[in-house]
């Protein structure tokens, strides 16, 4: 009897061991499978699909014109921002709350260049993003189809010659008529003030007359599409700028951040006399006005970094330097508005009023014609090839 009980207990123990081991293996196997699926979902997603515009450019021009006119009918000089950057995640968080702000501040249109698409685990090289097209399709009366910006590692390393490279994709997308403007391309770029505070950042130094520089200028000339460049006005880049403007007279070049001087020891040639020379000689050159407010200081040096404002005993006054004021009036058909939104900025709805205020401060004492030209007319001409009537 005892032997039978011992045998029964042994059998029960063996069955328990086998069942527990199998169950544990199943659980471990399922956990591993779930963990693997989770890891794959983080590493891989579907490549971003190409998106087409919902409207023709003739239709978009009509839509844009109606919005611009709606501000003029209320006695407001509308603003068109041709130099801002928007990540998809920021747009998804901030766009909806910014629409009413645009209306209140007289902001008619914004050209947001965007980032490349997220890594998908499949695409090698640059991954063209279509968020700007999505914005334009959803809000055709507010957002201008703008290419991905030249602020990515593929551009920074000046890669080219393959379908997987940014410059080759830029040529393809601009040549097929999808975009109204090429977003900001970095050639010479110092650390931003935010990067100075962190103690790390990007210092970009790409020759304007490099192979890819020639490709961008040539692309603009062939397609009549304008492009924005970030080029600190150092002495050598200014020489290269004249070389490229001469070589590609049909290009439309918008140099961002007019009168922003952050390392004056390397920017010795930029002054009102040079600006007059450039604007007089090169009709294909434009400047953009996303610049600092009076008294703004560059965090890397603690020096005032925007030279358009009149100097005072304590820094700068809230009025234009007389020489630059005369230039803005005389060459008012060569300047455009910009807000320079981008990563690290406050939420868009909080950011826009201050930047619109700065543009209106810049133009406050200019002629009425200059105010209209800088606010929207010049941008309209660059985007459509037509004068505002």
Contact 168, 217 (CB under 8 A): no
In a domain, residue 303? The reply is: yes
Separation CA 46–CA 119 (nearest Å)? 9
Q: 189-225 b/e with 16+ CB inside 10 Å = b?
A: bbbbbebbeeeebeebebebbeebbeebbbbbbebeb
Q: Are residues 8 and 61 in the same domain?
A: no
Q: Are residues 94 and 163 in the same domain?
A: yes
Average pLDDT over residues 269-282: 98
Q: Are residues 23 and 138 in the same domain?
A: no
Q: Are residues 15 and 104 in the same domain?
A: no
The number of CA neighbours under 13 Å toward the Cβ of 173 is 27
| Structure-token pair, residue 148 | 């991905």
| Structure-token pair, residue 68 | 């611009």
Q: Comparing C-alpha atoms, which of 236, 238, 249 is closest to residue 278?
A: 238
Separation CA 266–CA 123 (nearest Å)? 40
What is the domain range of residue 28? 1-43
91 pLDDT more than 80: yes
Choice among 1-5, 30-34, 132-136 with the minimum mean pLDDT: 30-34
342 pLDDT more than 90: yes
Q: Are residues 19 and 120 in the same domain?
A: no
Q: Are residues 38 and 95 in the same domain?
A: no
In a domain, residue 152? The reply is: yes
Q: Are residues 38 and 90 in the same domain?
A: no
Q: Are residues 71 and 36 in the same domain?
A: no
Q: Are residues 328 and 179 in the same domain?
A: yes
In a domain, residue 314? The reply is: yes
Which DSSP string corresponds to 57-124?
A: HHHHHHHHHHHHHHHHTTT---EEEEEEE--HHHHHHHHHHHHHHHHHHTEEEEEEEBPPPPP-SS--
Average pLDDT over residues 109-123: 94
In a domain, residue 312? The reply is: yes
Look at the block and give the residue holding tokens 């801002």.
Answer: 84
Helix (H) or strand (E) holding 240: helix 235-247
Separation CA 352–CA 217 (nearest Å)? 31
Q: Comparing C-alpha atoms, which of 144, 209, 134 is closest to residue 183?
A: 144
Residue 11 pLDDT: 46
Q: Residue 223: give its domain's CATH number.
A: 3.20.20.140
Q: Are residues 70 and 36 in the same domain?
A: no
In a domain, residue 49? The reply is: no
pLDDT band per the 50, 70, 90 thresholds, residue 240? very high
Long-range pairs for 308-311 at CB < 8 Å and ≥24 separation? 308/258, 308/259, 308/362
Instruction: Please count the structural domains in the chain.
Output: 2
Residue 61 pLDDT: 98
In a domain, residue 389? The reply is: no
In a domain, residue 285? The reply is: yes
Span 26-54, pLDDT tens digits: 334 444 343 433 334 444 456 788 999 99
CB-count exposure of residue 167 (10 Å: 0-12, 13-18, 19+): buried
| Structure-token pair, residue 56 | 């023709």
Q: Are residues 113 and 219 in the same domain?
A: yes
Span 122-132, pLDDT tens digits: 889 999 999 99
pLDDT band per the 50, 70, 90 thresholds, residue 94? very high
More confident residue, 202 or 362: 362
Q: Are residues 151 and 36 in the same domain?
A: no
182 pLDDT more than 80: yes
Residue 84 β-bridge partners: 112
Residue 45 pLDDT: 58
* Residues 293, 109, 388: CA angle, nearest 5 degrees: 100
Helix (H, G, I), strand (E, B) or coil at 249: coil
* Residues 33, 38, 39: CA angle, nearest 5 degrees: 100
In a domain, residue 71? The reply is: yes
Rounded percentage of the chain residues whose pLDDT exceeds 90: 82
């Amino acid at each position: 009897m005892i032997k039978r009980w011992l045998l029964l207990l042994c059998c029960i123990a063996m069955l328990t061991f086998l069942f527990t081991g199998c169950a544990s293996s199943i659980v471990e196997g399922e956990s591993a499978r779930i963990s693997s699926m989770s890891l794959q979902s983080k590493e891989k997603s579907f490549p971003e699909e190409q998106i087409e515009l919902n409207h023709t450019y003739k239709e978009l021009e009509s839509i844009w014109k109606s919005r611009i006119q709606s501000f003029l009918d209320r006695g407001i000089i509308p603003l068109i921002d041709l130099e801002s950057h928007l990540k998809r995640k920021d747009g998804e968080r901030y766009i909806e709350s910014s629409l009413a702000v645009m209306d209140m501040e007289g902001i008619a249109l914004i050209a947001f260049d965007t980032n490349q698409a997220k890594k998908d685990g499949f695409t090698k090289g640059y991954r063209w993003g279509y968020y700007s097209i999505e914005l334009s399709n959803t809000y055709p009366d507010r957002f201008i189809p703008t290419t991905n910006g030249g602020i990515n590692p593929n551009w920074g390393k000046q890669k080219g010659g393959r379908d997987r490279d940014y410059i080759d994709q830029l040529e393809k997308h601009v040549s097929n008529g999808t975009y109204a403007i090429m977003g900001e391309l970095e050639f010479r770029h110092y650390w931003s003030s935010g990067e100075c505070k962190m103690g790390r950042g990007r210092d970009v130094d790409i020759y304007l007359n490099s192979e890819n520089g020639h490709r961008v200028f040539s692309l603009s000339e062939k397609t009549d599409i304008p492009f924005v460049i970030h080029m600190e006005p150092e002495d050598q880049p200014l020489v290269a700028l004249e070389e490229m403007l001469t070589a590609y007279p049909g290009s439309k070049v918008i140099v961002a951040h007019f009168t922003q001087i952050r390392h004056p020891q390397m920017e010795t040639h930029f002054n009102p006399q040079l600006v007059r020379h450039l604007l007089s000689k090169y009709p294909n050159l434009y400047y953009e006005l996303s610049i600092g407010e009076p008294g703004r200081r560059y965090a890397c040096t603690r020096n005032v970094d925007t030279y358009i404002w009149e100097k005072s005993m304590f820094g700068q006054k809230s009025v234009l330097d007389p020489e630059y004021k005369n230039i803005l009036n005389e060459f008012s058909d060569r300047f455009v508005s910009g807000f320079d939104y981008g990563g690290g900025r406050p939420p868009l709805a909080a950011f826009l009023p201050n930047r619109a205020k700065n543009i209106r401060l810049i133009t406050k004492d200019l002629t009425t014609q200059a105010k209209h030209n800088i606010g929207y007319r010049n941008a309209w001409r660059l985007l459509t090839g037509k004068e505002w009537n």
